[in-house]
Amino acid sequence: MLFNDYDPLKKKKLMILDPKGVIVTPKLEPNIAKEELLHMYQIMTLGRTADIKAVQYQRQGRMLTYAPNRGQEAAQVGAMAALEEQDWLVPAFRELNAMLYKGVTLEQIYLYWYGNEWGNHFNEGVKVLPVDVIIGSQINHAAGIAYASKILKKNEVALATIGDGGTSHGEFYEGMNFAATYDAPLVVVIQNNQYAISTPRSKATRAATLAQKAVAFGIPGIQVDGNDVLAMYVATKAAVDHARSGKGPVLIEAVTYRLGPHTTSDDPTMYRSDDEVAEWELKDPLIRFKKYLIDKGYWSEEEDQKLEEENLKFVGDTFKQVEASGPAKLEDIFEYTYEKMTPNLIEQLEEYKKYLEQGGK
């Protein structure tokens, strides 16, 4: 069993595709169809382009504060590719690639960071919860969805994501303990990108690994090279199958790195060295996955150049549509805080409307 073979207490980390794009664990190489592999790569490259451009738009004053996720593409796409259509993604706030893969449009993602409430209004049938900025609370949300799925026999698995720093928050433990106690079909992926804003992983916890926190809940845990999209797929597929079979939750630690700032309000040069970043850039998930696809005869440098041009055009055209939507309406703050407005919100909204009628702006 995968979780026994890669016991985090024995300091074992799952890697299938090394930083040079070479298969180092042949027996675990997943049998993924060519079309799906190329789709995974397409989403990862689109996510990278959209991420870089989002930072540029924010620096130009055309977008609000944004949370970059450059370098974390494999941790997200590998996990999403292992889900089934009926399964849920319960994200935090750094899951651009995961949301794209699960069906959220780039326009909707950009609208959210543009400050428009409709950025959280996804298309019918897209099993993704809105962005959750409150650290750790998404674990409780996912545990609730998973438990409901079990009670209603819906055969749905909920997958939640959280950062390394988020595992020090109480709601992480509460949600995990609830799901474990009731054998809820929950998978939690810790995106260990080495920093909780400026707090390094080494100062966030004394645990040797984050995956071994699963031991306290009595559930399986596994540490994975989060820059290896194949390893992430294999680990998540095993976790999803385990959870769906009624055996309860699984905790996955994806060891990765945030190549950019925590948000566009952050200056990472204040707490980490350029040499450290350069070392992790050699482990770039896109570089190794592209090499793997080329070696298999599925891809070429010429196709890669064409895809990059298509991604740049698509991202640019999408943001033009977002800007054309104009400023968000202040009324949205009242109307979309709760499913039904509370009496206080109704009263405040009426006061605001009167203010506008009297010539206010």
Q: CA 211, CA 197: separation in Å to the nearest integer?
A: 20
CATH no., domain 2-327: 3.40.50.970
Q: Is 262 a catalytic residue?
A: yes
Q: What is the pLDDT along the chain (361 residues), one digit of tens a residue?
A: 899 999 999 989 999 999 999 999 999 999 999 999 999 999 999 999 999 999 999 999 999 999 999 999 999 999 999 999 999 999 999 999 999 999 999 999 999 999 998 899 999 999 999 999 999 999 999 999 999 999 999 999 999 999 999 999 999 999 999 999 999 999 999 999 999 999 999 999 999 999 999 999 999 999 999 999 999 999 999 999 999 999 999 999 999 999 999 999 999 999 999 999 999 999 999 999 999 999 999 999 999 999 999 999 999 999 999 999 988 888 888 888 888 999 999 999 999 999 988 887 6
Q: Which two tokens stand for residue 269?
A: 């040069």
Q: Which residues make up the CATH 3.40.50.970 domain(s) of the chain?
A: 2-327
Choose the catalytic residue: 233, 258, 288, 292. Answer: 258
Beta bridge partners of residue 188, listed in sequence order: 160, 251
Phi, psi of 260, deg, nearest 5: -100, -165
In the residue annotation, 258 being an active-site residue is answered as yes
CA dihedral (162, 46, 123, 136) in degrees, to 10, reads 10
* Residue 53 near residue 313, CB atoms below 8 Å: no
Catalytic residue among 48, 94, 141, 262: 262
Q: Which of 59, 62, 121, 271 is catalytic?
A: 271
Please, what is the angle between helix 285-295 and helix 34-59, to 10°? 150
**Known catalytic residue: 70?**
no
